[in-house]
Amino acid sequence: MTRTHAYAPSSELLAQHGDVEAGAGLVDLAVNVRADAPPPWLLRRLAGVDLAKYPDPVAARGAVAARHGRSAAEVLLTAGAAEAFVLIARAIKPRHAVVVHPQFTEPEIALRAAGHEVHRIVLGPPFTLVPAAVPDEADLVIIGNPTNPTSVLHPSGALRALARPGRLLVIDEAFADCVPGEPDSLAASDEVAGLVVIRSLTKTWGLAGLRAGYVLAEPAVTAALAAAQPPWGVSAPALEACIACSSAEAVAEAAAWAQRMVIARAYLLDRLERIDGVQVVATPSASFVLVHIDTPDPRAALRAKGFAVRRGDTFPGLGQQWLRIAVRDEPTSTALANAVKEILCQTSMR
């Protein structure tokens, strides 16, 4: 289902992210990185980088290409996924750009900042992709998979159905490695014309401050985006992280983490689904769940009980009663569910 009269946040709210929610004394369920810090082996690798030299991306490009079965010319390393959105907005001149919402808002912000008009396709619950909702004239389409904040994983077939001659189809796979085996990832798909896959090291490796990510696309597209990039824009430690996190051992470590996260997520889902007044978006696929809570301002109520959660009212198509909640360990999920129950109980007594 898509919605034409969906909730629309102000431009100020559109630019707000989960990191502003967390604060001293609060349990942080707002930020969606997997760990507080990168694993020790990765920190050691980063500490060994020679900072006196200008960064040379050749080895990192090769490592990322090998990890996804692509050629080096199909890889562009970026300062996080966020830079990739800015490069697309600067290098591409779309006539009809479409962003499928609710999703991470930086792609839309980057397009608008570069002077492009953005057409929103707003999916309604349960946030299933309807390829026919994307108009034929769209020559740039941006969609997340799995999507932040809905946690919905769109089937690769539905995404492929969005590809068209003359269209750039951008899939933000920042959370793809939350899905064991990544069956719906298109990162290795070099046969889909106009496909641009964006990946990030931020979430899985706890590297938000490093700024490391990359684009996988046909060589003409990576070259066009590279031309919009500042010189040496990806630092030597970020390049080292790209090499380290592309190794078979690192990929296996991420896959094992994803398996554990799936179990922890099932526990959180089970706790929340038992509560009257809570609607959980079914079959989440990322390291967070999206919930609708039947009380006027659930975010403020949870803050008062010591939990920072990600507000939903910064996302087109959601609103104040929607919250994104990060998957954490069982005691944390139990405590959160108890707090939600108490809030709903107080609401019903008013």
Is 315 in contact with 105 (CB distance < 8 Å)?
yes
78-86, 87-95, 218-226, 300-308 -> range binding ligand PLP (CB under 6 A)? 78-86
How far is Cα 183 from Cα 256, in angstroms, rounded to an integer? 15
Which of residues 9, 80, 206, 298 is near ligand PLP by CB under 6 A?
A: 80
How far is Cα 80 from Cα 23, in angstroms, rounded to an integer? 24
65-73, 75-83, 124-132, 266-274 -> range binding ligand PLP (CB under 6 A)? 75-83
How far is Cα 222 from Cα 220, in angstroms, rounded to an integer? 6
Which of residues 30, 129, 162, 174 is near ligand PLP by CB under 6 A?
A: 174
CB nearer ligand PLP, residue 145 or residue 333:
145
Alpha helices in 15-118 (DSSP H): 40-47, 58-68, 80-91, 106-113
Name the closest residue to ligand PLP (Cβ).
80
3-state helix, strand, coil in the chain (%, to 5): 40, 15, 45
Alpha helices in 148-218 (DSSP H): 156-160, 202-205
| Site for ligand PLP contains 288 (CB under 6 A) | no
| Site for ligand PLP contains 148 (CB under 6 A) | yes
| Site for ligand PLP contains 196 (CB under 6 A) | no
CB nearer ligand PLP, residue 162 or residue 278:
162
* Cα–Cα–Cα angle for 153, 17, 187, rounded to 5 degrees: 35
Whole-number minimum distance, CB 31 to ligand PLP, in Å? Answer: 9
Quick count: other Cβ atoms within 10 Å of Cβ 260?
13
| Site for ligand PLP contains 104 (CB under 6 A) | yes
Positions that interact with ligand PLP (CB under 6 A): 80-82, 104, 144, 148, 172, 174, 200, 202, 208, 213
